[in-house]
């Protein structure tokens, strides 16, 4: 209850911020895009993890408005970067409740319209679990988004329950392999086989693969060897404020 009240205050006092974590193309070494991640910084400077407050925002029914705000800000920044000559695809996380929202397509269309961001520079990340809450509706909703030209990624892939049958039916573009599989990746363990198999499966379905949570040069070498398309993780960069991302991307030009 305390956190609930604080969240209401947070909205009023603009305590939410976005940070951005780059996604790097493993073939060219260039920055393909960035994932927008929500941060709550309270007035006393303390922070609360989104894993704590997002479920509460969901319960309170506030996730749609906070999510819409995040979407608009993310599109705004990506549009600014483009104007500075950096064509970066922005990935925005959506919660299950946002996916179920009947006006989702309209909300997104409005964000693109207001910010002038080209549609192909927006990617939405959804977890398997949120996509499978109501599969038929999800497939419809995702198909509508895709027909608008928006890219869809399955986030935290491998931690949910999606069966391969659904993978075939869900209109997605990218699999983001959960960092749990990258964490202990080494030449002699099963995670190596899992990442290889997932990557081959994804490629046979024409999906791109992003490895998350890349923290060491060894992991980077292995995901390249296994054919992943993109890497994201602390080795490349931690999530950072918008202004730093622009400076960081310059090193790759
Ligand atoms: O950035 P961090 O590792 O703390 O994020 C924790 C979790 O919060 C991740 O699972 C991430 O997907 C989720 N998350 C971060 N930002 C957003 C957001 O804007 N919307 C939603 N729905 N989830 C987010
Ligand atoms: O669930 P999702 O993939 O959206 O969450 C991304 C979260 O992972 C972010 O909160 C981000 O801070 C975190 N993250 C990003 N890179 C790394 C990494 O290399 N190691 C760890 N442990 N966490 C990471
Ligand atoms: Mn994500
Ligand atoms: Na993830």
Domains and CATH numbers, the chain: 2-250 (3.20.20.450)
Measure the N-to-C terminal CA separation of the chain; round to a whole number of Å.
48
- Identify which of 55, 136, 69 has the alpha carbon closest to the alpha carbon of residue 97: 55
Residue 2's pLDDT band (cuts 50, 70, 90): confident
Q: Is the CB of 22 under 6 A from ligand 2?
A: no
Which pLDDT value is given to residue 249?
A: 87
Question: Relative to the CA of 156, which ligand 1 atom is closest?
Answer: 10
* Other CB atoms within 10 A of residue 241 CB: 13
Compute, in angstroms, the gap from residue 155 CA to the centroid of ligand 2. 11
Residues 6+ apart with CB under 8 A from 46: none
Distance, in Å, from the CA atom of 90 to the CA atom of 209, rounded to the nearest integer, reads: 16
Per residue in 144-163, pLDDT (tens digit) is 999 999 999 999 999 887 77
Question: Relative to the CA of 98, which ligand 1 atom is closest?
Answer: 22
Compute, in angstroms, the gap from residue 8 CA to the centroid of ligand 3. 24
Rounded (5°) CA angle 51-36-39? 45
Strands 174-177 and 230-231: unpaired
Residues 6+ apart with CB under 8 A from 193: none
Q: How many H helices and E strands in the chain?
A: 12, 9
Which pLDDT value is given to residue 168?
A: 87
- Summarize the confidence of residues 197-205 as an average pLDDT: 95
If 0-12 CB within 10 Å is exposed, 13-18 middle and 19+ buried, where does residue 253 land?
A: exposed
Residue with CA closest to ligand 1 atom 1: 37
Candidate from 77, 93, 97, 238 with most ligand 1 atoms within 8 A of CB, to mutate:
93
**Position 253 pLDDT exceeds 80:** no
Compute, in angstroms, the gap from residue 48 CA to the centroid of ligand 1. 12
CA contacts within 13 A on the Cβ side of 120 = 2
- Residue at token pair 């622009």: 246
Mean pLDDT, rounded, of the chain: 94
- Summarize the confidence of residues 18-46 as an average pLDDT: 96
Which pLDDT value is given to residue 199?
A: 97
Q: Is the CB of 234 under 6 A from ligand 2?
A: yes
Q: Give the whole-number percent of the chain exceeding pLDDT 70.
A: 100
- Cα 194 to Cα 2, 6, 169: the distances in Å are 42, 42, 22
Residue with CA closest to ligand 1 atom 15: 37
Q: Is the CB of 47 under 6 A from ligand 2?
A: no
Which pLDDT value is given to residue 250?
A: 82
The two tokens of residue 65 are 């408005």
The two tokens of residue 227 are 């054919």
Strands 122-127 and 151-157: parallel
CB 35 within 8 A of CB 91: yes
Residue 41's pLDDT band (cuts 50, 70, 90): very high
Per residue in 160-199, pLDDT (tens digit) is 877 778 888 999 999 999 999 999 999 889 999 999 999 9
Burial 166-179 (b: 16+ CB within 10 A, else e): bbeebebebbbbbb
Give the 3-state secondary structure of residue 172: coil
Candidate from 233, 236, 237, 240 with most ligand 2 atoms within 8 A of CB, to mutate:
233
- Cα 61 to Cα 7, 148, 227: the distances in Å are 12, 26, 40
């Amino acid at each position: 209850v305390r956190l609930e009240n604080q969240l209401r205050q947070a909205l009023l006092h603009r305590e939410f911020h976005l940070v951005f974590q780059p996604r790097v193309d493993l073939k060219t070494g260039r920055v393909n895009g960035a994932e927008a991640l929500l941060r709550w910084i309270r007035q006393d400077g303390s922070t609360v993890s989104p894993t704590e407050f997002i479920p509460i925002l969901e319960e309170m029914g506030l996730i749609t408005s906070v999510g819409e705000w995040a979407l608009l800000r993310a599109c705004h920044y990506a549009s600014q970067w483009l104007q500075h000559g950096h064509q970066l695809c922005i990935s925005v996380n959506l919660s299950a409740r946002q996916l179920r929202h009947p006006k989702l397509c309209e909300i997104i269309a409005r964000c693109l319209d207001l910010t002038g961001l080209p549609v192909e520079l927006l990617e939405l990340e959804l977890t398997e679990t949120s996509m499978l809450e109501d599969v038929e509706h999800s497939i419809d909703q995702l198909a509508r988004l895709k027909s608008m030209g928006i890219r869809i990624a399955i986030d935290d892939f491998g931690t949910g329950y999606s069966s391969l049958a659904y993978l075939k039916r869900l209109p997605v573009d990218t699999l983001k392999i959960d960092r749990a599989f990258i964490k202990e990746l080494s030449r002699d363990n099963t995670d190596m086989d899992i990442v290889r198999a997932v990557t081959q499966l994804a490629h046979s379905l024409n999906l791109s693969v992003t490895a998350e949570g890349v923290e060491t040069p060894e992991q980077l070498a292995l995901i390249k060897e296994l054919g992943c398309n993109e890497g994201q993780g602390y080795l490349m960069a931690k999530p950072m404020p918008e202004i730093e991302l622009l400076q960081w991307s310059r090193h790759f030009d």
